[in-house]
A and B are shown apart, each in its own frame.
Chain A
Amino acid sequence: MSWLDHRTGIETAIRSFLYEEIPASSGWHQVFGSIAVFLFLVQAFTGALLAFNYAPTPGDAYNSLRYILTEVTGGHLIRGLHHWGASMLIVVVVLHTTQVFLYGAYKKPREATWMVGVILLLLTMAYGLTGYLLPWDNRAYWGTVVSTQIASHIPFVGTYMSRLLGGDNAVGVVTFARFYGLHVLLLPPATALLIATHIYLVRKHGVAPAPGDEVKSRQKFYPRQAFKDTVAIFAAFVVLFVMAAAVRVPLERLADPTDTTYIPRPDWYFLFLFQSLKFFDGPLAIVGSVILPSFAVLALLLVPFVDRTQVMRVTRRTVAFGVVALALLGWTGLTVAAIVTTPKPDTAIAIDFSAPTDWMGLSPQEMAGIGYFRKENCASCHSLETGKPGAPSRTGPDLANVPIKKTAAWMIEHFKHPAAMVPGSSMPAIQLSDAQLNALAAFLLKLTPRNAEALANAPDFAVQAALLYQAKNCGSCHQVNGVGMKIGPPLNGLARRHTQAWVARHFANPEALSPGSFMPPYQFSQREMDNLVAYLFTLPD
């Protein structure tokens, strides 16, 4: 016995924890509870890291999350771990519940263990619900509008629920504070306490044995089962880490309560609940939103009291398998139905705000320059991302990191006659009009090492729209980002003044919608119209 153990008993405690006796039948099917605890700890860890760079108010939440994603090193990975960890935790907790259910491990005397577990399952979902609001993008806002409305429709207590959630039918600063408070202050200690209780109860009653275990000698948890748990946790962690690193979690635009075109959808694990609401109309609506879910939770809680048969082999539990199969079928059906019935948005254009959006500040001419840069394949010889490790070396000079000291006029001459301006240059002459070369030069003058990557990522719809904008000379009447004439109204802030549909109709017949306007009508293809309207609506205010 060491000095430390004499004073704290910590070694004895760990030893008695690791050398717990478990039934001979224990094995790979019992790893899910350990994975769930591990994922909970990962969520707590990554959640705390996110909180270090996050301001929990609607005014700042979105910007601070964008800061984490676009400026903080490793921010993408940490947010990815937290986001995908949440989904994974739901999956693992459900798998754990299913395993216990299939094996009948909830039976006497383990009823309390099971019931605490059901509450933990509900808490996991509560994290999903409250965390969904915190990015404060359109998805978060509208998803939460729907969920708080559901809470306010619960008979008798609806009004109070809605007050508890921070407002009478409105999602705002108070709701945000309540959701954040729940997510980081109330739920984590409650979960920790219940996990401790859950594990205590497992220890108290021992891991549930299978029939036949009583004649075999028991094994120790460490190292054999601990090894299996570790391998399973590691496998889950690898999947989580790869997802966090490789799958981008999108961030939509800032929450916009005036956006009438937004199609709210909950996160994937709530889609089945969402879809079930569609089957009940009018006064029956609460059947889908409140009564059925309540019954489901109650049924789950009461499972150990309904099924009081003797413990039997898992392979003989056909009823349990039937219940699980039915639940899986129902869940899959509802989820698939919810996905296929989700209408496609009017324009399939989505901007990923989890990446830098410096391109939004460019003038249409500079944006068009990006178009010519891409069209002329300039990137095959000129890199915009050298300085990054692993960037290939190219034939021509790197245009972002070598400060361009030349004037636009020099560049245009160089584009036309490369070798005349730079003796020995092997660059081919660019066959573009003067206006187009001007645009290209304007873009190149905007490049800095800091913004090169962000500008190179300008989405194609915006570039196409800017090319169209230049081709139609929109700038001779309108201003974008301070560039252009002021005969017509400036186009920044258009999103605040009109809907996308209005703008599309306005292009076809300006007079009809703005009497006295002398803007000529324009006929665009659907693609062109989508690009142009989406581009105009992304302009900063």
Chain B
Amino acid sequence: MPVTDQSGAQTPAQADVTRRKFHIAMIYGLWSLMAAALSIPAAIYLLIPPKLRKRPEWVEAGDVSALEPRVPVEMVFRQNRVDGWKVQSEKTTAWVVKLSDAQTVAYGPQCTHLGCAYHWDDNRNYFLCPCHTSIFSVDGAVVSGPAPRPLDRYETKVENGKLMLGPLRQSKEKT
């Protein structure tokens, strides 16, 4: 009857189309919801850094009272590092330089380019990275090579002539 059609009731064929549209919308909607409910927690699980249960501690690197000015010394010390579910006690090194009487700095042992171990070249008076020949001056600045920023520095404090090292801080990008 045309009257009922105009009043809003649907013919069976129209009802079929509506139902079909509803089914398809629900299929897309519910699967999107489930995909989100699984992928968002997964992304959080993988990407958010785990809670640290250990406070970073100060470790003693060595005696700095006898350092000569502007002559880097490689100091080896043991450090507890939180590694996933383990706390590893491992040997770590730092290049320690007394830049002035007031300032002693400790550089992290890795080149800021791609993480190779660099060393101090006594004859030429600079830090040389053997991988891609980045060169750093005694105060850590990039002299040449592909290194993007100066050497990273540990937080330091001196107590009774002993150098104490805190966390390693990434140096600012080269300007």
Cβ of A73 and Cβ of B44 under 8 Å apart?
yes
**Contact pick for B41, options A52, A67, A74, A448, CB 8 Å:** A74
Cβ of B41 and Cβ of A234 under 8 Å apart?
no
The 10 closest A-B pairs by CB, nearest first: A67-B85, A227-B23, A223-B23, A74-B45, A71-B50, A73-B48, A234-B30, A63-B85, A74-B44, A64-B85
Binary per-residue interface labels of chain B (59-92) against chain A in the complex, 1 for a CB within 8 Å, 0 otherwise: 0000000000000000000000000111000000
Given contacts A70-B53, A77-B41, A227-B24, 4 further A-B contacts (CB under 8 A): A67-B50, A71-B50, A227-B27, A234-B34
| B1 at the A interface (CB under 8 A) | no
Binary per-residue interface labels of chain B (7-23) against chain A in the complex, 1 for a CB within 8 Å, 0 otherwise: 00000000000001001
Give chain B nearest CB distance to A386 CB in angstroms: 17
**Known: A356-B53, A450-B53. Contact between A72 and B45, CB under 8 A?**
yes
**Known: A67-B50, A224-B23, A227-B26. Contact between A45 and B38, CB under 8 A?**
yes
Cβ of A45 and Cβ of B42 under 8 Å apart?
yes
Residues of B within 8 A of A358 (CB): 53
Q: In the complex, which residues 47-61 of chain B have their Cβ closer than 8 Å to any Cβ of chain A?
A: 48, 50-53, 55
A451 to B51, CA, bound (A): 11
Cβ of A53 and Cβ of B84 under 8 Å apart?
yes
Residues of B within 8 A of A231 (CB): 26, 30
Residues of A within 8 A of B30 (CB): 230-231, 233-234
**Known: A223-B20, A224-B23. Contact between A450 and B44, CB under 8 A?**
no
Q: In the complex, which residues 37-78 of chain A have their Cβ closer than 8 Å to any Cβ of chain B?
A: 42, 45, 49, 52-53, 55, 60, 63-64, 66-67, 70-75, 77-78
A211 to B94, CA, bound (A): 82
Residues of B within 8 A of A356 (CB): 53
| A127 at the B interface (CB under 8 A) | no
| B37 at the A interface (CB under 8 A) | yes
Cβ of A223 and Cβ of B24 under 8 Å apart?
yes
Cβ of A71 and Cβ of B51 under 8 Å apart?
yes
Cβ of B23 and Cβ of A75 under 8 Å apart?
no
Measured CB to CB, the residues of B under 8 A from A are: 20, 23-24, 26-27, 30-31, 33-34, 37-38, 41-42, 44-46, 48, 50-53, 55, 84-86
Give chain B nearest CB distance to A381 CB in angstroms: 27
| A226 at the B interface (CB under 8 A) | yes
Residues of A within 8 A of B41 (CB): 74, 77-78
Residues of B within 8 A of A223 (CB): 20, 23-24, 27
**Contact pick for A234, options B33, B42, B45, CB 8 Å:** B33
Measured CB to CB, the residues of A under 8 A from B are: 42, 45, 49, 52-53, 55, 60, 63-64, 66-67, 70-75, 77-78, 223-224, 226-227, 230-231, 233-234, 237, 241, 356, 358, 448, 450-451
What residue of chain B has the Cβ atom nearest to residue A79's Cβ? Answer: B45
A506 to B105, CA, bound (A): 58
Cβ of A73 and Cβ of B84 under 8 Å apart?
no
What residue of chain B has the Cβ atom nearest to residue A63's Cβ? Answer: B85
Give chain B nearest CB distance to A202 CB in angstroms: 20
A354 to B44, CA, bound (A): 19
Interface of B is mostly: helix
A-B contact pairs, 21 of them (CB 8 A): A49-B42, A64-B84, A67-B50, A71-B50, A71-B52, A71-B85, A72-B45, A73-B50, A74-B48, A77-B41, A78-B41, A223-B20, A224-B23, A226-B23, A227-B23, A230-B26, A230-B30, A234-B34, A448-B55, A450-B53, A450-B55
Cβ of B42 and Cβ of A67 under 8 Å apart?
no
Cβ of B24 and Cβ of A60 under 8 Å apart?
no
A73 to B38, CA, bound (A): 14
Cβ of A78 and Cβ of B55 under 8 Å apart?
no
Residues of B within 8 A of A42 (CB): 38
A45 to B37, CA, bound (A): 13
Residues of B within 8 A of A66 (CB): 85
A472 to B45, CA, bound (A): 46
**Contact pick for B45, options A67, A73, A237, CB 8 Å:** A73
Q: Chain B CB within 10 Å — which of A71, A75, A237, A358 has the most?
A: A71
Give chain A nearest CB distance to B28 CB in angstroms: 9
A67 to B53, CA, bound (A): 10
Residues of A within 8 A of B24 (CB): 223, 227
A230 to B20, CA, bound (A): 14
**Known: A226-B27, A230-B26, A448-B55. Contact between A237 and B37, CB under 8 A?**
yes
A74 to B34, CA, bound (A): 17
Give chain A nearest CB distance to B35 CB in angstroms: 11
Cβ of B50 and Cβ of A63 under 8 Å apart?
no
What residue of chain B has the Cβ atom nearest to residue A235's Cβ? Answer: B30
**Known: A42-B38, A241-B37. Contact between A52 and B50, CB under 8 A?**
no
**Contact pick for B34, options A49, A67, A70, A237, CB 8 Å:** A237
A39 to B50, CA, bound (A): 28
A223 to B23, CA, bound (A): 6
A55 to B55, CA, bound (A): 24
Residues of A within 8 A of B27 (CB): 223, 226-227, 230
Q: Chain A CB within 10 Å — which of B45, B52, B53 has the most?
A: B45
Residues of B within 8 A of A74 (CB): 41-42, 44-45, 48
Residues of B within 8 A of A45 (CB): 38, 42
Cβ of A63 and Cβ of B23 under 8 Å apart?
no
Q: Chain B CB within 10 Å — which of A53, A230, A451 has the most?
A: A230
Residues of A within 8 A of B50 (CB): 67, 71-73
Cβ of A78 and Cβ of B23 under 8 Å apart?
no
**Known: A223-B24, A237-B37. Contact between A60 and B85, CB under 8 A?**
yes
What residue of chain A has the Cβ atom nearest to residue B44's Cβ? Answer: A74
Residues of A within 8 A of B31 (CB): 230
A231 to B31, CA, bound (A): 9
A70 to B85, CA, bound (A): 10
